[in-house]
Amino acid sequence: MKRLLFLMLCVSGLPVLAQPPDPGLLERYAAEGERALAERRYDEAARAYERLRDLSPGTAEVHAKLGLIYYQERDYEHAVPALRRAMKLKPTLPKLDVLLAMCLSELGQYREALPGLRKGFRQSSDAPLRRSTGLQLLKAYTGLEQDQDAVEVALQLSRLHPEDAEVLYHSGRLFANFAYLQTMRLSRVAPASIWMHQAAGELNESRGYLDAAIREYREVLGLDPRRPGIHLRLGRTLLARAQQASSEAAASSSREEAMREFEGELRVDPTNANAAYELAEIYRKAGELERAGELFELSLKHYPDFEDARIGLARVLIAQGKPELAVPHLQNAITSSPANEVSYYQLSMAYGRLGNAAEQAKALAEFQRLHGQKRDRETLAFAPRQVTKQELDPDAPPP
């Protein structure tokens, strides 16, 4: 992307020099420099333009081009004086102040770089230049500990470049760092507050420190037993602990605790679709299909687009011998998420129960295709799940 910066300067050759010492020599060095630039041989290009600079030290365009070459070589210490000299000789040369600011930022001279970076990011109509200065502006604001300004730039960059890997990486790091700083500030300002306990619980949960997370969530409920969302989070953490339990007795105990928390969440907020879903899924896996179906329906009543709840309800209906009622729910889930292999597997099961071999074969073929691509579609390991996802049973029979 940096090579696009060559377009910034609009230098289409060197100007006629006043009383040149040797016009032929100037022409030769200019040709050598341009040829080396075109072939990205920056060392040779720099040597050619350094000779031009020595022959004609008063030509702004030579200094500008030399500064740009140094920038391409990441030789920012030499780029800065070359660009400053060009700007002094000819202040009207376009975009040099922005390029100078980018070099200063690379050298850690953030405060001096800010005006040029702001100009490049806010005023430029050149998309590559705006992107480059935006990334440097992120770096400068972060270096100056101007966190709010850095977050604003990151949000703008993310809107402008929603699929740019470099932008996503830097903005993601920044958001994570900002969240950490805010949490540290919270720990200083209100270390015993309900908000601090909740933040600590969420942090421990995300890191897999389940017992610590459970303690923090219980501290929150001790301060406010009807705090929305906390019974749900505690229940989810208890479910995670059940999955890691070393014995069935310990797992069963954690699941029972989790169920009580989900029920507690529904008492606090009867419209909480996630809590109803989690309870329903526990009942489904325990074979209590009637109660599971009621809770899946309750979840869908308050969140009609809840894909996992539709799949869960369909599984209950298939198990109850009502595959014709399951099919519409699975088709709805597939419309919401065409890449979910579980929907197609269950759909093939439903069509098999209905004796529709053609539709069963189509659903099974799509399941097999998606199952083969599963690793490519998996969510990043650090992305937190809001609910227990519908998955294939380990001992699932063929449709």
For the chain, what is the largest distance between any 2 Cα atoms, rounded to a whole number of angstroms?
Answer: 97
Q: Which pLDDT does position 347 carry in this prediction?
A: 97
How buried is 235 (Cβ within 10 angstroms: 0-12 exposed, 13-18 middle, 19+ buried)? Answer: buried
Successive 10-residue mean pLDDT values, the chain, 399 residues: 38 42 81 90 93 91 94 95 96 94 96 96 92 96 93 95 95 90 92 95 94 97 96 98 95 97 97 97 98 98 95 98 98 94 96 96 94 62 64 69
Q: Which pLDDT does position 353 carry in this prediction?
A: 97
Q: Which pLDDT does position 106 carry in this prediction?
A: 95
Q: How far apart are CA 394 and CA 375, in angstroms?
A: 17
Q: Which pLDDT does position 387 carry in this prediction?
A: 80
Q: Which pLDDT does position 51 carry in this prediction?
A: 92
Length of the chain: 399
Q: Which pLDDT does position 22 carry in this prediction?
A: 74
- Domain 1-94 is found in CATH 1.25.40.10: yes
Q: Which pLDDT does position 8 carry in this prediction?
A: 40
Give the start-to-end residue ranges of the domains of the chain: 1-94
- Contacts from 312-320 at CB under 8 Å and sequence distance 24+? 312/277, 312/280, 312/281, 312/284, 312/390, 313/280, 314/346, 314/350, 315/284, 315/346, 315/390, 316/284, 316/289, 316/292, 317/293, 318/346, 318/349, 318/350, 318/353, 319/289, 320/289, 320/293
Q: Any residues with CB less than 8 A from the CB of 108 and at least 6 apart, and which?
A: 143
Q: How far apart are CA 114 and CA 62, in angstroms?
A: 26
